[in-house]
Structure 1
Amino acid sequence: MTETGTLRTPVRSPSAAPVLSGLGLFTVLLGAALPLIDFFIVNVALPTIGRDLNASEAVLELVVAGYGVAYAVLLVLGGRLGDLFGRRQFFLGGMAAFGLTSLACGLAPSAWTLVAARVAQGAASAAMLPQVLATIQAATDGPRRAKAMGLYGATAGLSMVAGQILGGLLVAADIAGTGWRAVFLVNVPVVILGLILATRAVPETRSQHPEPIDTPGTVLLAVSLLALLAPLTEGRAAGWPLWTWLSLALFPLAAAAFYFVERREDRQGRTPLVPPSLFALTSLRRGLIMIVPFSIGFSGFMFVIAVALQRGAGLGPVPAGLALAPMAAVFFVVSLCGPRLIARYGTRIVTAGGLIQAVGVGLIALAAWRSWPDLGVWQLLPGAAVAGAGQALQLPVLIRIILSEVPSARAGVGSGVMATTQQSALAVGVATLGTLFLSLAASDGMRDALVTTLLVQLAGVALTTALSLRLPRTIS
């Protein structure tokens, strides 16, 4: 009561901002690792899957492509839905769905059932992954955000390499007679642990001004990505039928329609699925341009080296996977130094990373030329280690640059745009460099095909390095 005896209306203090604890950060990073591991984990398992399910090469490519396309197409929508309904809620739902679809993959009785389960698994990943970056953006700030973003980048890069290594180990281990099925079934206990931790440690965040779903934009983005990725991933195995060329011709038309619809929504004060005004952020625009050639080269290399080592060099799934262990180990160690290096040298470390990666790729190409077909972990070790160090100086920093200026209210949208760009580029890398390698292998032999493909990747590394010179020197 006041001195005059009248009641004063209680004043509510604003609710405390959500804080992401150390355990919460570990949990969301676990959620970030799962989808990326599963994009690459099947590379060394494909020969075994083909034999067990009597699957053709075209169907096996769908096992990879079905996951990647569904994942890429739905990522931005997943980010928007998290903004709208709550990121923790969508993270939990996406993780639970990922566990169920992983179980369906592991129990698939036929190749086409596996393809369908992989598509569903990609959709579940698209619901889960955007919430990771959005939660980090919304529930951390200052040095804690910089550290969290650095750890996210390290997790992303390490997951892509570790997925291939883990796939080889699980196939060879043949746990309880499961063979290749273990690469999917292993997700189930991990998901159960993640769900328990998430209910305890991940705070709920959402946009303060949520907007309704942009249905026309969602449809047009899906059409654009499908028109590009479907023919690129299936064209070679299917013999490049008419539909692949019609689909590729449709892509620029659908992409242009998507851009004009989104620009109209943005100008009318609504929030489109991908706001064109977001690209006014210099850091986001330049970072996205750089992450495309980086991701194309990264995923293309991972696919090509798995095929070359197993089909050409005659290695089993374990040595084929372990051949990349030096890359994973060095990537992890160097990426942990990233925050301190960027505090001291700024984004110049991205340029240095590109130069170091170029040396590493060159050493791998030289080893392939001189040692073929006796190509294994020892021959690849120098080049893989150097390339891993260069990649670790680029990917975590690029992710941090892309999202550095995105406001918290648009964290889900920004995260979805970044993840969609990266995932689409990963799918394009497998399709383009994989197609180049397999086509050359049929005519010129495995060694020449591998060396040529590595030189093409080297050109992509040079492009990324040149583009890094235009990055802002410091990151907020």
Structure 2
Amino acid sequence: MTLSTAPATPPAAPVRGRPALLLTIVLLAQFMSLLDVFIVNVAGPTLQAELNASGSELQLIIAGYTIAYAVLLVTGARLGGRHGPGRLFLTGLALFTASSLACGLAGSTATLVAARLAQGTGAALMLPQVLSLIQLTFAGQARIRALTGYAAVVATGAAAGQLAGGLLVSADLFGWGWRAVFLVNVPIGVTLLFLVPRGLPLSRPAPTSRARGLDPAGLLVLTTAVTLITVPLVLGQERDWPLWCWLSFAAGAALAALLAHHSTRLAARGGEPLIAPRVLTSPGMPLAVLRIFLTMAINGGNLFVLSLHVQAPEAAGGLGYGALRAGLVFLPASLAFGAVSLLWRRVPAHRQPALPATGLLLSAASLLTCGLLLRDGADIGVATMAVFALTGVALALAYGPTLTGALALVRPEDAADASGVTMMTTQLGMLTGIAAIGTLYLDRGDPWPAMLALALVATAAAAAGAVARPATRVKRR
């Protein structure tokens, strides 16, 4: 498949004649909400001291957002398909903005954890609509360009969150301290709420397109399965991986298999399962889901390990950087990731299918080099920053073309399901990388074993495409 080739799907009409405004709104909301996955990492020490939070409470504050987000993503996508993506986007944006204010004003850890869960719920309602609106608004090369912008935003959100967190905590705006990382969302969210009615369609879908049911059984099984997988990923390391974590993983995997069986049988009877099997088996999607999961596991694990290492006290083998300096460490990777995510389409069309594997192999080499440079408490110099940038380039080559190539071939009527699946895969990949690689780093106190493990994952992800069947075009109905 040539990634720059327009998919053979019927072109979608521009929304209210202002597709550029629509894309600006949804990508800015996407970026804002993705920042909140990582922006709290750098603010963690300050937040923990002021609220007197325990280690487990701090983990819930940081990861409660991601848990709610990952659990409800597919549900949010299906609700958008049923009630209209513009309406669900507006609802999610309002909840996200209000809960950001609640986070910034929280006076206790319990209040902050509850507000973070509400934030994640708002994001889960809002963000699946971004891909749906792109799929339904743009066609051909315009869709490819829009998806490229989307991939750039997703790719840079994590590193930008670390940087933004460091800047906001160090600046101590209005004496807000850690609260600024949440309150900064409020003016942005209010501005977007004002613009949404001017740029997004807020009408309900036609009755024929709203006929799909919610599949309550599938919704219950998926929500339970994702919860059983994400909660131990977040809390396992802090509690030294007790037996309940492994039992939870096993139960989650069993329910995932049950969901696949249920979806297949329901679709065979003419029903509409929560995740349509044809989406998961559409051209290029299985390999894309695997590579997205592994790439984001690499990205999440890498950022988490580096964040811990640069802020850890020198006596513990870290570098002892402050919040601002720690945030600036991620600037080269963030800029490189964003730039390459926007520019990879300039590669000749016949070479684009090779970009994901090339990026993954390049990331393996850069991660190995990074681990060697940081061994034995070595400081971060020009060479290390250049390697960080190279890692950003490599992961952008792996992620952007993979996501864009798969979604460009999805039928417009399957846009909601595809949005939920790819975004849930992104979040689960990052959580898995943070849990697995973070544990390896915390157990050893040395970034080298973690970087070696990440390089092996990148190599395996590159090799996965060698045995996959090439994607083909979606045929017209």
**After TM superposition, is the score higher than 0.5?**
yes
- Aligned amino acid, residue 397 of structure 2: L
Are 1:464 and 2:461 matched, yes or no? yes
- The 1-side partners of 2:241 and 2:386 are apart by 38
Whether contact under 8 Å (2:13, 2:138) holds in the other structure is: no
Are 1:439 and 2:443 matched, yes or no? yes
- The 2-side partners of 1:347 and 1:458 are apart by 21
Are 1:120 and 2:118 matched, yes or no? yes
- The 2-side partners of 1:326 and 1:17 are apart by 36
User: How far is the alpha carbon of 1:135 from its aligned partner?
Assistant: 0.4
Matching of residues 49-64 of structure 1 within 5 Å: 49-64=47-62
1:246-305 Cα distance to aligned partner (Å, 9 max, x none): 322312222222222212211111111112232221311110011111111111111111
- The 2-side partners of 1:265 and 1:293 are apart by 30
Whether contact under 8 Å (1:347, 1:474) holds in the other structure is: no
> Mean Cα displacement is larger for which, 308-317 or 343-352?
343-352
- The 2-side partners of 1:471 and 1:320 are apart by 42
Whether contact under 8 Å (1:151, 1:396) holds in the other structure is: no
- Name the residue aligned to 1:415: 419
- The 2-side partners of 1:471 and 1:460 are apart by 21
Whether contact under 8 Å (2:304, 2:438) holds in the other structure is: yes
Greater Rg over alpha carbons, structure: 1
Matching of residues 376-391 of structure 1 within 5 Å: 376=380, 378-391=382-395
User: How far is the alpha carbon of 1:235 from its aligned partner?
Assistant: 1.6
- Aligned counterpart for 2:73 among listed residues 64, 72, 75: 75
User: How far is the alpha carbon of 1:105 from its aligned partner?
Assistant: 1.0
- The 1-side partners of 2:14 and 2:361 are apart by 41
1:345-400 Cα distance to aligned partner (Å, 9 max, x none): 2211222222222232122112102xx53423635211111111111212111111
| CA separation of 1:102 and 1:127: change in aligned 2, threshold 3 A | same
- Aligned amino acid, residue 202 of structure 1: L
Secondary structure at 1:307's aligned position in 2? helix
Q: Superposition RMSD on alpha carbons, in Å?
A: 1.9
- The 1-side partners of 2:154 and 2:339 are apart by 14
User: How far is the alpha carbon of 1:20 from its aligned partner?
Assistant: 5.3
- Aligned counterpart for 2:450 among listed residues 443, 449, 453: 453
Whether contact under 8 Å (2:341, 2:400) holds in the other structure is: yes
- The 2-side partners of 1:306 and 1:245 are apart by 27
| CA separation of 1:213 and 1:315: change in aligned 2, threshold 3 A | same
Matching of residues 37-436 of structure 1 within 5 Å: 37-204=35-202, 206=205, 208-210=208-210, 211-311=212-312, 312-341=318-347, 343-369=349-375, 372-376=376-380, 378-436=382-440
- The 2-side partners of 1:268 and 1:377 are apart by 61
For structure 2, which runs of at least 5 residues remain unmatched after alignment?
A: 1-11, 313-317
- The 2-side partners of 1:34 and 1:107 are apart by 19
Whether contact under 8 Å (1:320, 1:376) holds in the other structure is: no
- The 2-side partners of 1:144 and 1:204 are apart by 22
> Mean Cα displacement is larger for which, 246-255 or 75-84?
246-255
- Aligned amino acid, residue 269 of structure 2: Q
Aligned length: 453
1:210-269 Cα distance to aligned partner (Å, 9 max, x none): 212111111101111111111121022124344323322312222222222212211111
- The 2-side partners of 1:201 and 1:57 are apart by 43
- Aligned amino acid, residue 357 of structure 1: S
> Identity rate of aligned residues, in percent?
36
> Mean Cα displacement is larger for which, 207-216 or 189-198?
207-216
> What is the TM-score with the length of structure 1 in the denominator?
0.91
- Aligned amino acid, residue 331 of structure 1: F
- Aligned amino acid, residue 451 of structure 1: W
- The 2-side partners of 1:185 and 1:415 are apart by 28
1:154-188 Cα distance to aligned partner (Å, 9 max, x none): 11111121111101110111101111111111001
- Aligned amino acid, residue 46 of structure 1: G
